[in-house]
Amino acid sequence: MFDIFSGLDAWVAVSLLLALAFVLTFEFINGFHDTANAVATVIYTKAMPPHLAVILSGCFNFLGVLLGGVGVAYAIVHLLPVELLISTNTAYGLVMVFSMLSAAIAWNLGTWYFGIPASSSHTLIGSILGVGLANALIADIPLSTGVNWQKAIDIALSLLLSPAAGFIVAALILLGLKWLRRESKMHTNPDQRLSIDGKKHPPFWNRLVLVLSAMGVSFVHGSNDGQKGIGLIMLVLIGIVPAKFVLDLNSTTYQIERTRDAAQHLSEFYTRNNDSLNEYLALGKNGTTELPKQFRCDVKLTEPTIAALLKSLDGVTDYNSMAQQDRTQVRRYLLCLDDTAKKVSKLKELPKREVADLDKLRKDLTATTEYAPFWVILAVAMALGLGTMIGWKRVVLTVGEKIGKQGMTYAQGMSAQITAAIAIGMANIYSLPVSTTHVLSSGVAGTMVANKSGLQLGTVRTILMAWVLTLPATIALSAGLFWLGVKVFI
């Protein structure tokens, strides 16, 4: 880890430390901001004492980050257009990262202070979109290319649909529990349980389900939200010390060969589908395999880009043996080819079977660019896990008592938590970032409606307002900070 500072100028080393500290601070705040949602029901229903619940939740968040992979991390990273991702200007990268994180941290702290279950996912995504749009304005490029809008739409759909799904599924689970065991004590809340039986804990089986589902929510939260921090750190490292992180220097000879083979097979794929893709990619029309001196991502340059990549990787068995500028170029080629392949896969002219083949080639193509060193994953896991263990009280009260007009029953807590664990787990499988806050809060609201408990409209209105305002507020804040940073420091 510490060798990343070797050979750096003092100001670059200090900037790198600050940038890493900002990312880990964001994850720490994310821990105590979002984890309150994971433990809210288990604490409110007295299934576990608060100190034990937050410690276990912190541990499961930690494990979720360690075992979650990097799919969601790079879904977040690729919100930025590929042209911005292939830039390795250190000063520009620093301004970009500090703008995003300052905006995200400020909004997260503000909503936490007022006890509002706002979404860290929305916060981060809004901050990234703000930087992309501001960069487009500064560079005088169309706003339509300032952000990877296709990826933004995919993520927006997951963020919009997951709360709706949480509301409906949690309500259906509760109705199912009522149909199965209408007179069960699972349909009482802690106050009713105390007055009827003189006991402060839920019945054994209900308590077990509450505890297990809460830890499940913590695990998938760590897996999903922790990856966002991993993606941010990789942006920092690639932007500030590209020589060591543009490619995975620990890649084996097999992995490099796999990348080279993927490029060759991609060329064959395009040749095979020449009739469908000829016009879009200008296949065979360039008359040369040479790239322009000022390299850029352009679908019309796909053939020469593949040729340049194969030439750069010819005979390479270890990325460490390549010069820094060659590694940077290889990363640019890979990102551009992946971006083009992603666009091609959306074309209606391409048969579904060919789209599936193209998706497999993309995974092989990016195997050595979409990665994270273990120390990065460990640092994020520790920051998120430690953040989990403080600051939970404000949001727990909101989720437990202020969403519905009556206190949450054990069955409602189980329904909401099971729904959240499944929904976020599915999102992890498909590498989609979702909001733990919104899924769980929506699940609680769904159970309140299904239970005919009624909703506290004031609280619901506040949560919805935070939901609606988060994206525009963080977009505006990060865009303003980025514009200011570029004007002052660059």
Per-residue pLDDT tens for 336-366? 999 899 889 888 888 888 889 999 999 999 9
- At 250 the pLDDT is 92
pLDDT in tens, 128-153: 899 989 988 888 887 777 787 877 88
**Distance of alpha carbon 412 from alpha carbon 421, whole angstroms:** 14
310 CB burial (10 A radius; 0-12, 13-18, 19+) = middle
DSSP per-residue string spanning 378-406: HHHHHHHHHHHTSS-HHHHHIIIIISBSS
Report d(CA 257, CA 444) in Å as an integer.
Answer: 50
Query: For 77-91, 134-148, 181-195, which range has the lowest pLDDT when averaged over its residues?
Result: 77-91
Q: Quick check: 404 pLDDT over 60?
A: no
Work out the pLDDT band at 330, boundaries 50, 70, 90. Answer: very high
Query: Between these two residues, 330 and 87, which has the higher pLDDT value?
Result: 330
Residue matched to tokens 């065979």: 284
- Res 192: pLDDT: 81
Structure tokens at 232: 């941010």
So what's the pLDDT on residue 173? Answer: 93
List the chain domain ranges.
Answer: 2-153+182-244+374-406+457-489, 247-365
Instruction: Answer yes or no: are the C-beta atoms of 408 and 44 closer than 8 Å.
Output: yes
Look over the chain and give the mean of its residue pLDDT values, rounded to a whole number. Answer: 83
pLDDT in tens, 197-219: 878 788 888 999 999 998 998 89
Phi and psi dihedrals of 344, rounded to 5?
-65, -40
| Contact criterion met (CB below 8 Å) for 427 and 162 | yes
What are the tokens at 290? 């040479």
Single-letter code of the amino acid located at 52: L
Which pLDDT band, with edges at 50, 70 and 90, does 285 fall under? low
pLDDT at 256: 95
pLDDT for the residue numbered 474: 92
Write the DSSP symbol of residue 455. Answer: B
Q: Write the CB contacts of 21 (distance below 8 Å, at least 6 apart in sequence).
A: none
**Residues 109-132, mean pLDDT to the nearest whole number:** 80
Q: How confident is the model at residue 36 (pLDDT cuts 50, 70, 90)?
A: low
Q: Check pLDDT > 60 for residue 394.
A: no
Q: What pLDDT is stored for residue 373 in this prediction?
A: 93
pLDDT: is 121 or 134 the higher one? 134
- Can you tell me the mean pLDDT for 231-239? 85
Look at residue 487 in the predicted model and tell me its pLDDT: 87
Closest Cα partner for 97 from 40, 181, 19? 19
Q: How far apart are CA 383 and CA 38, in angstroms?
A: 17
Q: What pLDDT shows up at residue 484?
A: 92
Nearest Cα to 44, choosing from 190, 187, 171? 190
Average pLDDT over residues 168-182: 89
Place of tokens 């007055």: 195
pTM as predicted: 0.83
CA distances from 164 to 217, 419, 438, 475 (A): 18, 11, 9, 24
Taking the C-alpha atoms of residue 68 and residue 222, their distance in angstroms, rounded to an integer, is 8
- The pLDDT value given to residue 386: 84
> Is residue 475's pLDDT more than 90?
yes
Quick check: 455 pLDDT over 60?
Answer: yes
Higher pLDDT, 466 or 261: 261
